[in-house]
A and B are shown apart, each in its own frame.
Chain A
Amino acid sequence: MTLLWMLLGLFALIAINVPIAVSLAVVAVVAMIATQGVDILPNVALVMFDGATNFPLLAIPLFIFAGAIMNTSGISRRLIAFASALFGFIKGGLAMVNVAASMFFAEMSGSAVADVAALGSILIPAMRRKGYPRGFAAAVTSSSATIAIIIPPSIPMILYAVMSDSSVVQLFVAGIVPGVLGGVIMMFVCYWFAVRYNYPVEEVFRLKRVWTTFKDASWAFLLPLIILGGIFGGLVTATEGAGLAVAASLFIGGVVYRELNWPHLRKAIIDGGISTAVVMLLVAASALVGNYLTELQVPQELAAAITSWTDNRYLVLALLNVFFLVVGLFLHSAAAIILVVPIVMPLVNAVGIDPVHFGIVVTLNLGIGQQTPPVASVLITACSVAKADIWEVSRINVYFVAVIVAVLMMVTYIPAIPMFLVRLFYG
C-alpha cells in the first residue's frame, strides 16, 4: 500500500513540474517519516551525500567536459570535412556524411544531445543550402546521434553499469557492433530517400581531398585511440580514460588546432558542470528511494511475481522492451536508468539475461525515447537547431526510428550481436 501511495505521489509531483530528482526525494522522505518516524531524518542528509559520491560516475563530468572541448575547438568541423570527402560523392551524400560524422564523434563524446548540438549546428544549415528539406535534415541528425550513443563511450552506459553493478568496459565493447550496424543501415535509408526525392551529390570523389582532410583531422582521430584504446587495453579505467580525453582534447584543441579560447572553454566547463549536477542530483535522490524500496524488498517481489508467471527470458525481454519504450516516452534517459534499472535487475538476473546484453537493450530503448515526444531530448535539440516543427520532423524521423527499433529487435533476440566481441575479449 505504501508503494502505491509513493507511486501516486511521484506521478502527481512530476505532473505538476516538480523536478524529478526533488519528486523522488520528497516521496522517499514522506514514506520514511510515515513508516519510521522523524528520527530517521538525519539519514536523508547522509544518504543524499553518499549517493552523490559514487566513484565510477566520476567519468560522466569528465566525458561531458571532453565533449564540450571538442565542440568548441574545431574537431567536429574537421570530422565533417573528412566524412564529406569519403561519402560526399554518393547521391544524398551529405545525409550520409551526417550519419558518419555522428559515428566518429560518438567515439569521443558520450552524449547524443552533445552530438546533435555539435554536428547539427554545422550540418543542418549545410544540408538546407544543398536543398534538403528542413525536416529531413533534422531527422537524420537526431536519429544518427541516438544510434551513436550505442558506440562507446556512452554516458547512459556508465549510468547503467553503476545502477546494475556490471562492467562498464564490457558494455562499451558490447555497443560497438550494434552501433556500427545501426549507422550503416541508416546510411542505406539516407540513400533510399536520396534516390526517391532526388537529393544532390555533395562533392566529387577525389583521393587527394580524402588524404588532405584525413591529415587535417588526424589529431582528432587520435582521441578515440587514446580513449578507447586505453580503456579496452586495460591501461586505464573508464574514469581515467575520461580524464585522458579531457587532457587530449585540451591539447589538440588548444595547442595543435589553436581554436580554443577562454570564453568558450569557460562556457564548456560551466555547461558540463550543470549537466553533471542535474544527473548526479537524480542519482543522489534515487539512493533515498532505492534504500527504501530495498527495505521493502520491492525489486525481489517484482522478480518473484513475474518469474512465477514465466521464466522465459525472451518473453521477459519482450515485456521489458515494451516497459522501457513506454518509460522512455515520458522520462529522460538518465532518469529512466536511475529509476527503473535497480528495480528490474533482480528479474533480469533471475531469468538468466546477461546484464551486459540487457544494458545494450536498455540503452537502445531509451535511445528511441530520445526521439519520441513528449519527452524527446535529442529530437527537440535537433528541431531547435534546424528551427523545424517537431511534428514535421517526426513524420520523416519515423523511418530512422524504425532503424533503431530494428537494431533493438536484433540486439534483443540475437544476443550474439552485442555479445560476440565481449565473449571474444573477455571469455
Chain B
Amino acid sequence: MANIRKGFERLLETIVILIMVTLTVIVLVAVIYRKAGASLSWYDEIASVLLAWLTYYGAALAALHREHIGFSGLVKALKPAVRIPFIVISEVCILGFFALLAWVGFQVLVVLKGDNLISLPQIPTRLTQSVIPIGAILFIIAEALGIPELLKKAARPDGFANIDIPGETEPKSDSAATEVPRP
C-alpha cells in the first residue's frame, strides 16, 4: 500500500512539475515575443488550459497530502465515536462529487468530438477537457488512499491531532525555510 501511494505521489508530482515549468517557460517566451513585436496568438489559450490542468492534477496531489482548505475544528473537538461517522459522511461527499464529475466529464468529451482549439486548430478540445474526468479519477484515488490512515487516527482519542497546533505533531521547522504554504 505504501509503495502504491509513493508511486502515485511521484506520478502526480512529476505532472505538476512539468506543468509548472511549461507554464513559466510559455509566459516568459510570450513576453519576449510580444516585446519583439510578434505576439504569440496561442499564448492566452494554451496558458489558460495549462492553468486548468495544474488545478486538477495539483488538486489530486493536494488531496493526497490532505491540504485542501477546510474547517476541521469541530470534527477534531468531537469524541472518536461521534467523529468517525462525520468523517465517513465527509469522505462519501468528496468521493461522490468527484465520481459525478468524472462521469459528466466523460459525457462532455463525447459531445466535444470534432471540436478543436481556436488558436491552435491541430489540438482537439477533447484533449484539453480530458483533465476533468482524468483529474476527478486521480482525486478519487488520492482521497481513497488516505482514508484507512484517517480512520485509524480518528479512532484514537488522542490520535486525531490537530496539525495546525504546534506541539500536537512533530515540529516541521527544518523544512520551514523551504515551505510554500498556500497564500
Residue from the set B93, B108, B132, B181 with the largest chain A CB neighbour count within 10 Å: B181
- Asked whether B171 is an interface residue with its Cβ less than 8 Å from the other chain, the reply is yes
Q: Distance in Å from the Cβ of A283 to the closest Cβ of chain B?
A: 8
- Asked whether B141 is an interface residue with its Cβ less than 8 Å from the other chain, the reply is no
B interface secondary structure, majority = helix
- Flag if B69 contacts A45 (CB, 8 Å): no
Q: A121: which B residues are within 8 A, CB to CB?
A: 173, 176-177
| Nearest A-chain residue to B75, judged by Cβ | A17
Residue from the set A46, A118, A274 with the largest chain B CB neighbour count within 10 Å: A274
- Asked whether B116 is an interface residue with its Cβ less than 8 Å from the other chain, the reply is no
- A330 vs B59: C-alpha distance when bound (angstroms): 22
| Nearest A-chain residue to B31, judged by Cβ | A240
| Nearest A-chain residue to B85, judged by Cβ | A16
Residue from the set B34, B56, B167, B180 with the largest chain A CB neighbour count within 10 Å: B180
Q: Which of A49-57, A96-104, A300-308, A404-412 contacts B (4 or more CB under 8 A)?
A: A49-57
Q: Distance in Å from the Cβ of B104 to the closest Cβ of chain A?
A: 4
Q: Which of B20, B31, B70, B182 contacts A279 (CB 8 A)?
A: B182
- Asked whether A14 is an interface residue with its Cβ less than 8 Å from the other chain, the reply is yes
Q: Which of B31, B87, B131 contacts A49 (CB 8 A)?
A: B131
Knowing A45-B132, A277-B62 touch, does A240 contact B55 (C-beta < 8 A)?
no
- Chain A, interface size: which category? 35 or more
- Flag if B47 contacts A58 (CB, 8 Å): yes
- Flag if A275 contacts B94 (CB, 8 Å): no
Q: Distance in Å from the Cβ of A354 to the closest Cβ of chain B?
A: 24
Q: Which of A18-26, A168-176, A216-224, A313-321 contacts B (4 or more CB under 8 A)?
A: A18-26
- Flag if A247 contacts B28 (CB, 8 Å): yes
- Flag if B183 contacts A279 (CB, 8 Å): yes
- Flag if A280 contacts B181 (CB, 8 Å): no
- Flag if B177 contacts A44 (CB, 8 Å): no
- Flag if A21 contacts B181 (CB, 8 Å): no
Q: A110: which B residues are within 8 A, CB to CB?
A: 183
- Asked whether B149 is an interface residue with its Cβ less than 8 Å from the other chain, the reply is no
Residue from the set A242, A269, A377 with the largest chain B CB neighbour count within 10 Å: A269
Q: Which of B69, B132, B172, B178 contacts A21 (CB 8 A)?
A: B69
- Asked whether B49 is an interface residue with its Cβ less than 8 Å from the other chain, the reply is yes
Count of B interface residues, CB-CB < 8 Å: 73
Q: Distance in Å from the Cβ of A311 to the closest Cβ of chain B?
A: 34
- Flag if B178 contacts A236 (CB, 8 Å): no
- Asked whether B52 is an interface residue with its Cβ less than 8 Å from the other chain, the reply is yes
- Flag if A26 contacts B54 (CB, 8 Å): no
Residue from the set B68, B70, B93 with the largest chain A CB neighbour count within 10 Å: B70
- Flag if A117 contacts B70 (CB, 8 Å): no
Q: What are the interface flags for B154-166 relative to A under an 8 Å C-beta threshold, 1 for contact and 0 otherwise?
A: 0000000000111
Residue from the set A45, A277, A390 with the largest chain B CB neighbour count within 10 Å: A277
| Nearest A-chain residue to B107, judged by Cβ | A42
Q: Distance in Å from the Cβ of B146 to the closest Cβ of chain A?
A: 12
Q: Which of A17, A54, A62, A240 contacts B70 (CB 8 A)?
A: A17
Knowing A16-B89, A52-B55, A273-B20 touch, does A120 contact B71 (C-beta < 8 A)?
no
- Flag if B59 contacts A278 (CB, 8 Å): yes
- Asked whether B114 is an interface residue with its Cβ less than 8 Å from the other chain, the reply is no
Q: Distance in Å from the Cβ of A384 to the closest Cβ of chain B?
A: 5
| Nearest A-chain residue to B17, judged by Cβ | A269
Q: Which of A63-71, A87-95, A195-203 contacts B (4 or more CB under 8 A)?
A: A63-71
- Flag if A387 contacts B180 (CB, 8 Å): no
- A156 vs B30: C-alpha distance when bound (angstroms): 25
Q: Distance in Å from the Cβ of A128 to the closest Cβ of chain B?
A: 12
Q: Which of B23, B52, B61 contacts A274 (CB 8 A)?
A: B61
Q: Distance in Å from the Cβ of B26 to the closest Cβ of chain A?
A: 9
- Flag if A117 contacts B69 (CB, 8 Å): no
Within 8 A of B (CB), among A270-293: 270-284
Residue from the set A264, A266, A276, A280 with the largest chain B CB neighbour count within 10 Å: A276
Q: Which of A71, A273, A277, A377 contacts B177 (CB 8 A)?
A: A71
Q: A272: which B residues are within 8 A, CB to CB?
A: 20, 180
- Flag if B58 contacts A277 (CB, 8 Å): yes
Q: Which of A26, A114, A278, A383 contacts B97 (CB 8 A)?
A: A26
Q: A120: which B residues are within 8 A, CB to CB?
A: 176
Q: B181: which A residues are within 8 A, CB to CB?
A: 111, 113-114, 117, 271, 275, 377, 381
- Flag if A58 contacts B48 (CB, 8 Å): yes
- A360 vs B32: C-alpha distance when bound (angstroms): 32
Q: A52: which B residues are within 8 A, CB to CB?
A: 51-52, 55-56
Q: B28: which A residues are within 8 A, CB to CB?
A: 243-244, 246-247
Q: B49: which A residues are within 8 A, CB to CB?
A: 53
- Asked whether A210 is an interface residue with its Cβ less than 8 Å from the other chain, the reply is no
Q: Which of B17, B59, B167 contacts A281 (CB 8 A)?
A: B59
18 A/B residue pairs, CB under 8 Å, sorted by A? A15-B75, A16-B75, A26-B93, A29-B100, A45-B107, A48-B101, A49-B131, A61-B20, A71-B177, A76-B177, A120-B176, A244-B28, A247-B28, A273-B17, A273-B19, A280-B58, A380-B164, A390-B166
Mark B residues whose CB is within 8 Å of A: 13, 16-17, 19-21, 23-24, 27-28, 30-31, 34, 44, 47-49, 51-52, 54-59, 61-62, 65, 67-75, 86-87, 89-90, 93-94, 96-98, 100-101, 104-105, 107-108, 111, 129, 131-133, 164-167, 171-173, 175-183
Shortest 5 CB-CB distances between A and B: which pairs?
Answer: A277-B58, A243-B27, A19-B68, A155-B183, A273-B16
